[in-house]
């Protein structure tokens, strides 16, 4: 009986989370701000969230001041993941920031993240060819985005990478290794195409 009560309570919170996440208008904006302050470990002042934000592992997420996350984005930090977002960060629509499965993501101050960007700090393990990949678990890593970075739309940032301060990652790029500060990187995989200094 206790199992069913626990399941009912969990499902009730899931429904409440869904309703608040999609509540329209100014009242929805205020309701989401209130709700996420209870769901996320730390949120600074002036947090703004569009509809459809999905958050898992909120106890492992810290968000600074003046952060805006637009509609249909996701923050995943369950299973020992960690996400830290600095101050004055703008995250566009449909962005996935995934640090689950022992991954870690640090985003500095004054960072711009375009729509449809994926930051994934953990990969599927795939060393065995006799075990299906989906049964091999995950390997966590770290992503560091330093201050003043602009990540263009549809870019992908993979684990164990560091993007230096004031760098631009061109739209559609795939970052698989560190990128120097004050540069512009583009391509698949991303390569430095210009120095900003």
Catalytic residue set: 124
Q: For CA atoms 39, 42, 44, 50, give the dihedral sign.
A: negative
Would you list the DSSP string of 62-128?
EE-SS-EE-TT-EEE-TTT-EEEE-SS-EE-TT-EEE-TTT-EEEE-SS-EE-TT-EEE-EEE----
Contact 145, 163 (CB under 8 A): yes
Q: Which residues of 66-86 are buried (b: 16+ CB within 10 A; e: fewer)?
A: bbebbbbbbbbbebebbbbbb
Q: For CA atoms 74, 80, 81, 84, give the dihedral sign.
A: positive
Q: Is the peptide bond before 106 cis (omega within 30 degrees of 0)?
A: no
């Amino acid at each position: 009986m206790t199992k069913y009560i626990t399941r009912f309570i969990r499902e009730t919170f899931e429904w409440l989370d869904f309703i608040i996440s999609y509540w329209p208008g100014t009242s929805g904006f205020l309701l989401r701000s209130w709700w996420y302050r209870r769901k996320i470990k730390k949120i600074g002042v002036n947090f703004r969230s569009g509809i459809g934000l999905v958050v898992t592992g909120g106890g492992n997420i810290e968000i600074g001041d003046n952060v805006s996350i637009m509609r249909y984005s996701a923050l995943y930090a369950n299973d020992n993941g960690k996400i830290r977002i600095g101050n004055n960060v703008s995250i566009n629509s449909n962005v996935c920031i995934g640090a689950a499965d022992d991954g870690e993501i640090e985003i500095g101050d004054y960072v711009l993240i375009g729509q449809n960007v994926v930051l994934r700090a953990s990969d599927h393990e795939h060393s065995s060819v006799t075990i299906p990949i989906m049964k091999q678990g995950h390997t966590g890593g770290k992503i560091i985005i330093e201050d003043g970075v602009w990540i263009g739309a549809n870019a992908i940032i993979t684990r164990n990478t560091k993007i230096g301060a004031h760098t631009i990652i061109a739209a559609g790029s795939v970052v698989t290794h560190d990128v120097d500060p004050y540069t512009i990187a583009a391509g698949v995989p991303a390569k430095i195409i210009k120095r900003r200094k």
